[in-house]
Amino acid sequence: MSAPQHPTEPSAPISEATSGAVLSPPADAAVPAQPDLPDPDEDGADAAIEPADLAEDDAGGDDLLVREGDVAADYLERLLDILDVDGDIDLDVEGDRASVAIVGGDLKDLVGPDGVVLEALQELTRLAVAQSTGVRSRLMLDISGFRARRRADLTSLAAETARRVASSGQPERLSAMNPFERKVVHDVIAGVTGVHSESEGEEPNRRVVVLPDR
């Protein structure tokens, strides 16, 4: 294990962006008319989905994140032992959250189809961390680089969608995504002039809509 590193009125039809395995439904599926635009997220970019429950100063926050990583590593090591799965655990701090990665070995069963097992393991790990620290955790778990690859795919998809919307002036809905995926898309869209993004719907069918600026 690596050491921790210290709508408003409808103005136009909205199309469904598709990009191979990145989005669903399949490209040949019929897309129903969706004239209503979403209400903006109250806090934007899905920021309210995973709020931190305790404000920390920079030093205290870093110490807490390091502790979260240590607790998560212990929890995941025990899990790997129980499952008799080989894997190394890397710890890091990325921005305002702890980051834990399991690498090496045959870990595809821990990722699952479209990352569903990974998402479940992340939630279990967050619960274990919160139980130990007394603070709700926003820890991010990756396994075999799945999230890194997904981030790259979504970054490309978001950039392409933003260019189309800016050029056509027509909003586009993306397929349903989890909070991590929506956050990646929102971040990309925020850096593109002439467009903005909002989220609509309820979990697990919440999705991003890319709209032209008025």
Confidence bin at 59 (pLDDT 50/70/90): very low
pLDDT higher than threshold 80 for residue 19: no
pLDDT tens-place string over residues 109-165: 999 998 999 999 999 999 999 999 999 999 999 999 999 999 999 999 999 999 999
The strand pair at 97-103 and 140-143 is best described as parallel
Give the CA angle between residues 211, 27, 184 to the nearest 5°: 45
**Report field, pTM of the whole predicted structure over 0.75:** no
3-class state of residue 208 by DSSP: strand
Q: Give the mean pLDDT of 45-50.
A: 36
- Sequence letter at residue 154: L
Q: Six-digit token pair at 44?
A: 């934007």
| Contacts with 80 (C-beta within 8 Å, 6 or more apart), sequence order | 86, 87, 102
Closest CA to 174 of 10, 25, 9: 25
What are the residue ranges of helices labelled H in the chain? 58-83, 108-111, 116-133, 146-168, 179-190
Residues 191 and 183: their CA atoms lie apart, in Å, by 13
Task: Tell me which of 20 and 17 has the higher pLDDT.
Answer: 17
| Contacts with 20 (C-beta within 8 Å, 6 or more apart), sequence order | none
| Contacts with 195 (C-beta within 8 Å, 6 or more apart), sequence order | 162, 165, 166, 189, 210, 211, 212, 213
